[in-house]
Structure 1
């Protein structure tokens, strides 16, 4: 081989090596996808593309249980009208998930995923559940990383495992370009980017911008869309009947077939009804068994009629949440000791080393349970379980514990530098995201009816979660004569005419924005309402606006280096929310977009060494 040939050969080897190296570096890590909470709007509501799978996942109930969501939450985005009808194998579905940026450890950093709890069954492995049940929306390597205390080869039936479903949230640039969702989709060997773009109403370039151009089969890709595409439901073809030579004979045969089908349908309907009755009976027996275990030794049983009524109300939820025993809750709260009261009738309790918020109620939890079982979002406080006390006919709702308490206590208690403008703006966006979810992504829409700073809780990272759905209502545009809520937050049309709509939540959110800006109580010592004092502040010249707003702002914000323009923008949103005409108030979709346009939300990524969000000590 000559020198020239050897030179060309070496060049070829170097080129192949470089190509292989580039290919390896372009691949996503099998442990997940890196994220930064300062670059994107975490947490966010997004969707995964899922296919109905035989034999275990051919109905919305089983798929809903797998993803910890209700059947209507899958049915609406998937264009399915009947939530109880069976699905066809490979039928396309959109399943909602709450995507978060989660810190794993110093080795792996932050990984973007939606954590789903799964109970190990016979013959389950991390690989089997990841590839079969979750259809490669995660990997067994990622499951191992997220569950460091579990040994993959030593799993026991009943073990609780967190499965990280890969997802991403839109960043500021994508959001401003109207990218509302990054749909998680598993790339199949038969797929190509053009067909995906056409199918989801996206573009090839936007898919490449998010995922790179080196996508392999069974990678999770994230497809940017402004809205979910319409899924076409498969149509089951009717059986073909061969025409008969004798018309009269054919008519008789057709009539016979028709009557036969009607008879079969009648038998099926009766069978379903009997199955439903048997299922409810089993649930009732389950509930009775739970309640029997809750009786203290020597206590008299509750009257049978009352017991049946209580169980009938919660029979649909016995298999959705953990059912705690009353003795278990008493031990967790030192018999509901007043020193453990968080707020009102909510107690802090510890069960098996896990801290919960336990809400004690009279027996009126049915509506709250009905609403909570169909919502799943990172900016809503999560219901973990409940308990029924048959002796006193009480109910206890057991929620996740949110470490930093209510926004009200931070704004109107002992303030400090941790509640700066960036933190307040982030809180406002979190609450807006939660309200957008219940207004736009539930069927029927949910109206909270009691949005206020004391019902907004802050976690250890000062991220906000909406709590207390005790007054919430499914459905809107209704009229009620029973006015409930908190003075100072109630929308005028609800107070005067009893009109229930999502716009009453928008009004209350506007009041919360005023609290965040001013640091003032919603009703002062003279009984004057906060929102009634905003008239005229944004009138006149720019200099006058800034001067009047600074007079109105919280003194702690004046010490901050926040942009006055950002405060003016948020104040403008608040005023729009407080319009006396509900039809002229913005929707939560518009509000989220307007708040996210603020320059203060996103760090300049061109600057090195930007400050991370401060970690806040638990109170």
Structure 2
């Protein structure tokens, strides 16, 4: 009987230790269809001493949410408290990607702690986009769906208001006994480690590991997640986060019970300071090399930003440095003066306007497309400068003026494909069957070059009819590489910044942010569907829900009466002038491209081979003006 008191004491002790931590979510936050109860994917457990407490979040400012008022409104915080915590005036506009501290009241809701924010759903928003893009992983798609009584296949109606449960927690009794007064939910950036984050806030690494259910042996963290940082005092903006570390993290200190905790904290602070100083020196060296050693040729990536617009002489000097830098790196590009572009476009006359910020210009007797851009254009310039393919639009020159970039492209006289395949405005332009197959083959060939012949592989990310331009021979050029993204050597990447055109974006990208060449394959399938039918994707499937898009192919792909249904499926302007069996074959190819499972989609190389054979047979059909005698293609994907 004397054993029972000791057992009770042991259980209470163990319970106290267990309640001193929350389970880190790991990678489960990116899989919206999984709610792993062994992690904190649905929220941090309501195991604290208090059911309500003062808590803190971090948020990195981004366009649309970069002021005290907009960030406070998004996260349901008090703007006066937010400005006070960050030591800024109430009307402050933060620099983009600046770390902002956000005070919130954290409360138990059922089994989990959370701070609720209200959000009005925008067009194209899904649970993953809202949780990981807009709210930067301060919520999870699983928690958002559960909070609003939805499931992973639910459609969020634009204009509706939903509740977003933000990830926060209150200290447990055990943590309070150890001096912890607050818990901060820190947004992990790519390349960051527990030790560096802890040092940033002057916290012992062992305490941070314990607060998240991690250990010295299992201390790996991922971006797309939050890390709880235990604090004795409210956080302060007097400390700035160090740049992400590119090398392995320093060895974590021993358990928090060690007598050397305070000294080890100072070690990590010193490491962080030294690392920051080294980064500053390295950055200064790079700037010096690029802008003051202009005579030396090199092939490093171009880093260009036009966010700040200095005035007068300073602007002219910066413009000259930028342009000289590009001239030495991208030797094939011509650097134009702004006066040359004004002359080419009749001072950017409305008569030269094409669309958006694009103008037609005449340079040395030849037409050119001139696009005005601001912001960071380095990715597009770097990519277009290193690729050379007939089916990819060519960048011929650049200009920098008054904080804006002007990119000069080859001119495609017949404009975007969308002007030829949509007939909403009574446009009389017409493409016959063979021309449509040739355009499809051109686009597939260009994408195959990006996927298979650039290193690392490149994903266009915005394949759509308005980004396919037609030259004088109606041959296709892929344009607009502003969203293009390089992947790793295996062709994979992950993002929480979901951007693209509604209807063309693949399910795995919308739901989980996964980027691979199969993302372009999906968009290509949608594009070919538009080419076959002459209808926009929004018309083809009202609402634009991608995973159901293939339903419109069902009648055509039905083996018994597929040909009979073609007349209702194909573009009426073709008036039946197409080989029926080939049309069904291409429809099957489309169906394989837009399957929900990326692994089930063909590669662009396979698509090129199929369309090459289809093109050859189509030419034979066109010459004979008869569908008899051409081979039957039965290859499946």
Give the TM-score, by structure 1 length: 0.48
Give the TM-score, by structure 2 length: 0.46
